[in-house]
Chain A
């Protein structure tokens, strides 16, 4: 087996050195009646060529985003990632290292985490960011738990513009933990009355902007109302590129900001691995979940970085920890950090402008089609259209024509017939005028 350095001579010599007759003597603690004598009922070893052949055959059955006009967003976005990023994250020293428990020999990881935390804090305009969560959805669940710890209340109010699967994560965790959730109905236009839901029992209000439907939401009045009731505002985003162009949640009064960072540095990967961004105000830092990297000095006074405030974490505090998270999204953070370092604010602002500009162009094209209504007044690179037919059927028709044209809301909300005709579409920098024209033509045909 090509990955195993020991040969049979090594093995027999080593068994002799250990003082046993056979390898099974080392497994003697496993009760005999449950010890496997033969092999698992699985195929035997395969050469590199053979594995490549079989997996490539599976991959070839899928339509990749880059091979067609592509307009699906809804929480994961097709962006161009510079070649440098993927090269650097495959450096052995990054790829095959682990959590920096020994800071003297993991300054590489620690320094990029410190850069990552600074980038996320600046993007969101918050005081502190952690060294990542698994993704935006699980980060949202953690944010709600954190708010409950801070406020010592247990009722979360979820906006109807929150991604339905994020909502499901929060609801699942809350129902298991015995906490309360008030979920508002689907809100494609951003016109729900969330303020009236906030009362003295509310721990936190969870609002996504741009919303799942693409609508930009003014967070300030929500923050004000929440704070008047000593509740917290948790601001969520799924498209981090939007922060290059729109007002960050930190300046709108958010107390915890959580978002999906996949768009920067990370591919679509059918939903994972992604990277959860998590930031808060200084006063709440000790209630944060996850790892934090901090600056310090070594014995010679040189600057260095370490994991810090670990007394919040499970390996120290066990059942009193702020979260059970251990392994997070290290390498995806690195991809994010490198891509963001390449962009800088000059590049990010421009990238955001191109995204928005492309969405505006798409909106004009699609909005001009007979029977199509655009629901959003203010949006970033994604918006929702109402169709005269079931959106699920339309998307299948488009796919038959080789166009992946957005997400029918009904896929995630099958029980709500009111929104069965809604389609969420995104246009990023990867789309060309030809892509958009092909989409519009195909949509016209599908609706005819």
Chain B
């Protein structure tokens, strides 16, 4: 044991019978326990000073609120401390590698934040006169241009608010196109490996979802697709296919799939969640895609923000272009025009309706364009290449110890392992993931896609340095060896070192507590009250 000059141990845990103090506050140094605002805020307090209002002559009819709202207020320093303390219980890209497959957790440049906060973008109203916002139309049109060139598609619907909303938009355009052609097909084909949003979207529009199986190599089974297409001839609206797929593989038969779908009078919806793998390397418009959403918060790095806001513009093929929803920007000799209502449409424009009030996620458009301009054509291509290289580097660093369900072939921007390497270790995929938390990593995506057992989908993105990848690989190898050695304690109770130990999700769902309520006052006996 090493001692300092006072004879005290220099490192905790080296002393015999290491002392773990039980603190009075429950805090552990910088790791602070923080109550809910309802438990320490006061109904009298406010952290906002407003100019004194004159006596108001209320004109509320009989609609004035009678009861108390029950919202505590915090003075500014209290609010600052509360939310700073909460923030410290979060893992984030800025604090470590975040290999959450399918989510593209890449660096979020702060230039983008700064640009989105320019008053000329952040402080303009969606319904102020169009003549007072020419720069806003210019920005949307410029981003639309970058997205259409990147995908080689004919048109774009900018307004969808996130990926799933983009899927809905694309499928509505497809439905509108069928209706315009006098068709009413009832079926949408969705591969087994698809994101849950795909079948959920199709079902929202009343479609029946027919699942398509995968081949042993993780890609769509073309023969099964052919057979299904024949079985349902004339009744297929389209296919919803992710490419690169959720196994991290590019669908090699994509052109054949597109041809098959088009021959069936159906449309090809591509889920663009994994576009980060191929920007500048291939264009969906060359692959036979009819519609694809682009997750600006993934590929183009508008931040994930703890679960949104996202933005999901949808690029459309020539066949679907007329059906793009309101609003859209029309280019004329006189400049850019904002088309907001059907009465402003001209020949050839048959918008299927409107996805949302206003014009979509302007704040995200600014960030995405700032990101794309910063990269340029060369940087976008380089980013995709680095993302793919990083994923493959992890693959070869782990493939001898972990199990690749589809063999040792190159992957795209994410690498999928299954849990067969954990067989007979007594460690589950979930346990393994929770042990990563103790090592300071956010776990990968688990149990998705559904086509492999105990899936672990790792997406490092291009934002990681080689040193960061080396440490991640070394850590994962240590964990695997540990599992194989039967050190189950390291896994079964993990995480040990996070702000919370494993949380009981079953109890949460069994008796849901979805808001704070005042605790019942403890019963006080008359004797004790005296």
Which listed residue, A28, A64, A341, touches B124 by the CB 8 Å rule? A64
B305 at the binding interface (Cβ < 8 Å): yes
Instruction: Give every chain A residue within 8 A of B94 (Cβ-Cβ).
Output: 92-93, 95-96
Taking a contact as CB atoms under 8 Å apart, the answer to whether B362 and A269 are in contact is yes
Instruction: Give every chain A residue within 8 A of B526 (Cβ-Cβ).
Output: none
Which of B67, B364, B410 has the largest number of chain A CB atoms within 10 A? B410
Instruction: Give every chain A residue within 8 A of B306 (Cβ-Cβ).
Output: 94-95, 97-100, 106, 108-109, 330-331, 334
- Give A99 to B369 CA distance when docked, in angstroms: 24
A137 at the binding interface (Cβ < 8 Å): yes
Closest to B142 in A: A58
A155 at the binding interface (Cβ < 8 Å): no
Contact flag A344-B304 (CB < 8 Å), given A40-B150, A166-B357, A272-B364: no
Closest to A245 in B: B65
Taking a contact as CB atoms under 8 Å apart, the answer to whether B80 and A84 are in contact is yes
Which listed residue, B65, B72, B87, B123, touches A108 by the CB 8 Å rule? B87
A409-448 CB contacts (< 8 Å) to partner B:
411-415, 429
- Mark the stretch among B10-18, B162-170, B477-485 that contacts chain A: B162-170
Q: Tell me the minimal C-beta distance from B277 to chain A in angstroms.
A: 9
Which of A14, A44, A55, A320 has the largest number of chain B CB atoms within 10 A? A55
- Mark the stretch among B204-212, B225-233, B314-322, B419-427 that contacts chain A: B204-212
Q: Which 8 A-B pairs have the closest CB atoms?
A: A344-B73, A271-B358, A59-B120, A172-B353, A378-B61, A331-B305, A271-B126, A61-B135
Taking a contact as CB atoms under 8 Å apart, the answer to whether A137 and B382 are in contact is no
Question: Besides the contacts A273-B363, A345-B72, what 11 more A-B pairs have beta carbons closer than 8 Å?
Answer: A26-B412, A30-B282, A31-B255, A55-B373, A61-B133, A78-B125, A134-B161, A298-B501, A327-B162, A342-B46, A347-B48
Instruction: Give every chain B residue within 8 A of A56 (Cβ-Cβ).
Output: 115, 118, 120
Q: Tell me the minimal C-beta distance from B367 to chain A in angstroms.
A: 10
B187-245 CB contacts (< 8 Å) to partner A:
195-197, 199-206, 209
Taking a contact as CB atoms under 8 Å apart, the answer to whether A404 and B71 are in contact is no
Query: Can you give 27 contacting A-B residue pairs, CB < 8 Å?
Result: A10-B466, A17-B396, A20-B392, A40-B381, A42-B146, A42-B149, A59-B118, A64-B119, A98-B307, A104-B498, A106-B90, A111-B89, A117-B515, A176-B205, A216-B61, A269-B121, A270-B359, A296-B508, A313-B196, A324-B204, A344-B46, A344-B72, A346-B73, A378-B60, A380-B60, A404-B132, A414-B341
- Give A115 to B463 CA distance when docked, in angstroms: 33
Which listed residue, A5, A86, A128, touches B515 by the CB 8 Å rule? A128
Closest to A132 in B: B308
Instruction: Give every chain A residue within 8 A of B390 (Cβ-Cβ).
Output: 6, 14
Taking a contact as CB atoms under 8 Å apart, the answer to whether A122 and B71 are in contact is yes
Q: Tell me the minimal C-beta distance from B432 to chain A in angstroms.
A: 13
- Give A95 to B385 CA distance when docked, in angstroms: 26
Which listed residue, B53, B116, B280, B465, touches A5 by the CB 8 Å rule? B465
Q: Tell me the minimal C-beta distance from A318 to chain B in angstroms.
A: 4
Closest to B168 in A: A324
Taking a contact as CB atoms under 8 Å apart, the answer to whether A294 and B508 are in contact is yes
A297-339 CB contacts (< 8 Å) to partner B:
297-300, 302, 304-306, 308-311, 313-321, 323-332, 334, 338
B104-123 CB contacts (< 8 Å) to partner A:
105, 107-109, 111, 113-123
Which listed residue, B116, B343, B505, touches A306 by the CB 8 Å rule? B505
A23 at the binding interface (Cβ < 8 Å): yes
B54-71 CB contacts (< 8 Å) to partner A:
54, 56-71
Which of A18, A245, A308, A319 has the largest number of chain B CB atoms within 10 A? A319
Taking a contact as CB atoms under 8 Å apart, the answer to whether B65 and A45 are in contact is no
Closest to B502 in A: A299
Closest to B512 in A: A294
B337-363 CB contacts (< 8 Å) to partner A:
340-341, 343-344, 352-363
Closest to A102 in B: B443
B79-104 CB contacts (< 8 Å) to partner A:
79-80, 82-84, 86-95, 98, 100, 103
A21 at the binding interface (Cβ < 8 Å): no
Q: Tell me the minimal C-beta distance from A383 to chain B in angstroms.
A: 9
- Give A359 to B493 CA distance when docked, in angstroms: 59
Which listed residue, A30, A135, A311, A318, touches B250 by the CB 8 Å rule? A30
Which listed residue, B42, B131, B369, touches A396 by the CB 8 Å rule? B131
- Give A173 to B118 CA distance when docked, in angstroms: 34
B254 at the binding interface (Cβ < 8 Å): yes
Contact flag A314-B307 (CB < 8 Å), given A65-B124, A216-B63, A324-B201: no
Which of A5, A70, A119, A305 has the largest number of chain B CB atoms within 10 A? A5
Closest to B203 in A: A319
A243 at the binding interface (Cβ < 8 Å): yes
- Mark the stretch among B1-9, B31-39, B260-268 that contacts chain A: B31-39
Which listed residue, A13, A246, A377, touches B64 by the CB 8 Å rule? A246
B452 at the binding interface (Cβ < 8 Å): no
B27 at the binding interface (Cβ < 8 Å): no
Contact flag A177-B204 (CB < 8 Å), given A61-B120, A105-B499, A404-B125: yes
- Give A17 to B470 CA distance when docked, in angstroms: 12
A379-420 CB contacts (< 8 Å) to partner B:
379-380, 395-396, 399, 404, 407, 411-415
Per-position contact with B for A88-132: 1 when CB-CB < 8 Å, else 0?
111111111111111111111101101101110111010011011
Taking a contact as CB atoms under 8 Å apart, the answer to whether B501 and A302 are in contact is yes
Taking a contact as CB atoms under 8 Å apart, the answer to whether A377 and B59 are in contact is yes
B378 at the binding interface (Cβ < 8 Å): yes
How many chain A residues touch B (Cβ–Cβ < 8 Å)?
207
Taking a contact as CB atoms under 8 Å apart, the answer to whether A100 and B307 are in contact is yes
B476 at the binding interface (Cβ < 8 Å): no
- Give A298 to B71 CA distance when docked, in angstroms: 28
Q: Tell me the minimal C-beta distance from A343 to chain B in angstroms.
A: 5
- Give A76 to B149 CA distance when docked, in angstroms: 33
Per-position contact with B for A257-297: 1 when CB-CB < 8 Å, else 0?
00000000001111111010000000001000001111111
Closest to B395 in A: A18
Taking a contact as CB atoms under 8 Å apart, the answer to whether A171 and B503 are in contact is no
B352-411 CB contacts (< 8 Å) to partner A:
352-364, 366, 369-370, 372-383, 385-386, 388-390, 392-393, 395-397, 410
Taking a contact as CB atoms under 8 Å apart, the answer to whether B382 and A1 are in contact is yes
Instruction: Give every chain B residue within 8 A of A341 (Cβ-Cβ).
Output: 37, 41, 47, 72-74, 79, 82
Per-position contact with A for B299-312: 1 when CB-CB < 8 Å, else 0?
00001111111110
Instruction: Give every chain B residue within 8 A of A166 (Cβ-Cβ).
Output: 357
- Mark the stretch among A192-200, A227-235, A349-357 that contacts chain B: A349-357
Which listed residue, B50, B71, B433, B466, touches A350 by the CB 8 Å rule? B50
A247 at the binding interface (Cβ < 8 Å): yes
Q: Tell me the minimal C-beta distance from B357 to chain A in angstroms.
A: 4
Taking a contact as CB atoms under 8 Å apart, the answer to whether A273 and B377 are in contact is no
- Give A121 to B516 CA distance when docked, in angstroms: 10
B451 at the binding interface (Cβ < 8 Å): no
Contact flag A102-B133 (CB < 8 Å), given A51-B370, A123-B71, A378-B63: no
Per-position contact with B for A23-63: 1 when CB-CB < 8 Å, else 0?
10111111100111001111111101011101111111111
Instruction: Give every chain A residue within 8 A of B295 (Cβ-Cβ).
Output: 327
Q: Tell me the minimal C-beta distance from B237 to chain A in angstroms.
A: 12
Instruction: Give every chain B residue within 8 A of A311 (Cβ-Cβ).
Output: 509
Q: Tell me the minimal C-beta distance from A167 to chain B in angstroms.
A: 9
- Give A423 to B309 CA distance when docked, in angstroms: 31
Contact flag A40-B280 (CB < 8 Å), given A1-B383, A108-B87: yes
Instruction: Give every chain A residue within 8 A of B46 (Cβ-Cβ).
Output: 342-344, 346-347, 350
Taking a contact as CB atoms under 8 Å apart, the answer to whether B63 and A323 are in contact is no
Which listed residue, A45, A118, A165, A415, touches B354 by the CB 8 Å rule? A165
Q: Tell me the minimal C-beta distance from B431 to chain A in angstroms.
A: 13
Taking a contact as CB atoms under 8 Å apart, the answer to whether A344 and B57 are in contact is no
B462 at the binding interface (Cβ < 8 Å): yes
Taking a contact as CB atoms under 8 Å apart, the answer to whether A106 and B361 are in contact is no
Contact flag A18-B392 (CB < 8 Å), given A62-B120, A347-B73: yes
Which listed residue, B142, B203, B360, touches A272 by the CB 8 Å rule? B360
